[in-house]
């Protein structure tokens, strides 16, 4: 195959490179794990985002193929591919936003925590490079178990002396997307009009939908509350089982990741009132990390909102969620400290 870099230069297309390097308007975004089940549709959707001027696609396999493919889309973002550890730093230099969907997914019968042994090391290595190359970037962490990988990222950044709690965000948007869909389904609403706060974390009972705070105001029977809570908490498992060994949610996750990344970019641009749920360093409970509604701004997380009034059912759910979360957070912290 032709060496694209050389062909571009022969044809005087270095203007493309100048645009990529200089890109003054628009944001520079890297996806780490860009050739994966989430990474590929996520890369495609980010290439379609007009706020992105430069898109770096990094993976340990197949990054050149995905990059060549996506680079033919006639949208404005310039796309560059980076393959293997030796190109990781080049992939990260100058980035405003780094999205991490790198790591193994679940198979039926596994919990997200079963992924810890492999994914903890992957996230640690990637965050060490981020700390070195783009410590001011906003980091969106998708790799599971999110309840532990976000504490891992925070510890890595602390070790490197660059931790900014406003800039490290665990992506729990898929829980909100699912909750909006399932509530809309049973209430006969358009999912785009529904907003369900989902707090806590991103695994089983730590996923806590606050159905008493749904907008528009909805009144559910206890049977509906039990059904919705169970379906939202087990939405990931529903997909893992349906895919029967071929992985976990990728397309709905790419959609959710882009919804969240776009919110981060709009906030970086200076848009007001950008509010979403995310799993962040937080003082909302006694735990050091917790997912709740946050307001995003030019520096990342500008404000963390309290949980608001909870009913008895939600208060009981919160206690269960905190118990499991505490262990997952400690596991992540110890992994880096040991
Ligand atoms: P996948 O196996 O299809 O893709 C993962 C990609 O990561 C692969 O291309 C692989 O080569 C790459 N990778 C592996 N090690 C790497 C490294 N050291 N550096 C860079 N890239 C590396 O998996 P997937 O379905 O895309 O899922 C990825 C992760 O996202 C899993 O951990 C999964 O559990 C998680 N996930 C999270 C959510 C969420 O809501 N936060 C939702 C769905 C999936
Ligand atoms: C999800 O919620 O779909 C992801 O966390 C993937 C999984 O393992 O369920």
Query: What pLDDT score was predicted for residue 244?
Result: 98
Task: State residue 15's pLDDT score.
Answer: 59
Query: How many angstroms separate the CA atoms of 38 and 100, rounded?
Result: 10
Average pLDDT over residues 275-299: 98
Band of pLDDT at residue 24, cut at 50, 70 and 90: low
Residue whose C-alpha is closest to residue 271's, from 298, 292, 293: 298
- How many angstroms does the Cα of residue 253 sit away from the middle of ligand 2? 8
pLDDT at 25 over 90: no
Please indicate if the annotation marks 3 as binding a ligand.
Answer: no
Q: What is the mean pLDDT of the chain?
A: 95
Substitution site in 32, 36, 111 for ligand 1 pocket (most atoms within 8 Å of beta carbon): 36
Q: Cα(36) to centroid of ligand 1, in Å? A: 6
Label residue 338 by pLDDT band (50, 70, 90): confident
Catalytic residue among 56, 72, 202, 276: 202
Among the ranges given (4-18, 80-94, 103-117, 134-148), the one the predictor scored with the smallest mean pLDDT? 4-18
Which two tokens mark 308? 């608001």
* Closest approach atom of ligand 1 to CA 175: 40
Q: How far is the CA of 256 from the centre of ligand 2 (A)?
A: 12
Kindly report the number of other CB atoms within 10 A of residue 9's CB atom.
Answer: 12
For the segment 118-128, the average pLDDT, to the nearest whole number, is: 98
Predicted-assembly ipTM surpassing the 0.95 threshold: yes
Joined tokens for residue 89: 């730093």
Residue 292, strand partner residues = 278
- The annotation status of 19 as a binding-site residue, yes or no, is no
**Index of the ligand 2 atom closest to the CA of residue 239:** 3
Q: Cα-flanking dihedrals φ and ψ of residue 199, to 5°?
A: -120, 175
Q: Give pLDDT, residue 270.
A: 97
Q: Report whether 34 belongs to an annotated binding site.
A: yes
Q: Which CB contacts under 8 angstroms, 24+ apart, belong to 239-246?
A: 240/105, 240/106, 240/107, 240/108, 240/110, 241/108, 244/108, 245/107, 245/108
> Is the CB of residue 202 below 6 angstroms from any atom belonging to ligand 1?
yes
Q: Which atom of ligand 2 is nearest to the CA of 252?
A: 3
C-alpha angle 232-46-171 in degrees, rounded to nearest 5: 30
Residues 6+ apart with CB under 8 A from 292: 197, 199, 277, 282, 284, 304, 305, 306, 307
């Amino acid at each position: 195959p032709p060496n694209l870099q050389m062909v571009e230069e022969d044809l005087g297309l270095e203007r493309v490179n100048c645009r990529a390097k200089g890109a003054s308007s628009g944001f520079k975004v890297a996806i780490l794990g860009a050739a994966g089940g989430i990474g590929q549709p996520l890369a495609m959707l980010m290439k379609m985002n007009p706020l992105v001027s430069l898109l770096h696609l990094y993976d340990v396999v197949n990054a050149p193929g995905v990059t060549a493919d996506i680079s033919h889309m006639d949208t404005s973002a310039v796309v560059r591919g980076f393959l293997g550890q030796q190109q990781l730093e080049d992939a990260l230099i100058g980035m405003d936003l780094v999205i991490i969907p790198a790591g193994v997914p679940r198979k039926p019968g596994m919990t997200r925590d079963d992924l810890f042994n492999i994914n903890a090391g992957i996230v640690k290595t990637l965050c060490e490079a981020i700390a070195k190359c783009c410590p001011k970037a906003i980091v969106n962490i998708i790799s599971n178990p999110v309840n532990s990988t976000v504490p891992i990222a925070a510890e890595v950044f602390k070790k490197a002396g660059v931790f900014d709690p406003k800039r490290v965000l665990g992506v729990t948007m898929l829980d909100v997307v699912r909750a909006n869909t399932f509530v809309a389904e049973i209430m006969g609403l358009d999912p785009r009009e529904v907003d369900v706060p989902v707090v806590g974390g991103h695994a089983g009972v730590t996923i806590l939908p606050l159905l008493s705070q749904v907008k528009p105001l909805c009144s559910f029977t206890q049977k509906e509350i039990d059904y919705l809570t169970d379906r939202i908490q087990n939405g990931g498992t529903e997909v893992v089982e349906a895919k029967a060994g071929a992985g976990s949610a990728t397309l709905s996750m790419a959609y959710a990741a882009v919804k969240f990344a776009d919110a981060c970019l709009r906030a970086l641009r200076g848009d007001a009132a950008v509010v979403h749920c995310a799993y962040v360093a937080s003082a909302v409970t006694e735990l050091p990390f917790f997912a709740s509604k946050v307001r995003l701004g030019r520096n990342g997380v500008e404000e963390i909102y309290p949980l608001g009034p909870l009913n008895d059912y939600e208060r009981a759910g919160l206690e269960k969620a905190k118990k499991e979360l505490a262990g997952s957070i400690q596991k992540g912290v110890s992994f880096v400290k040991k």
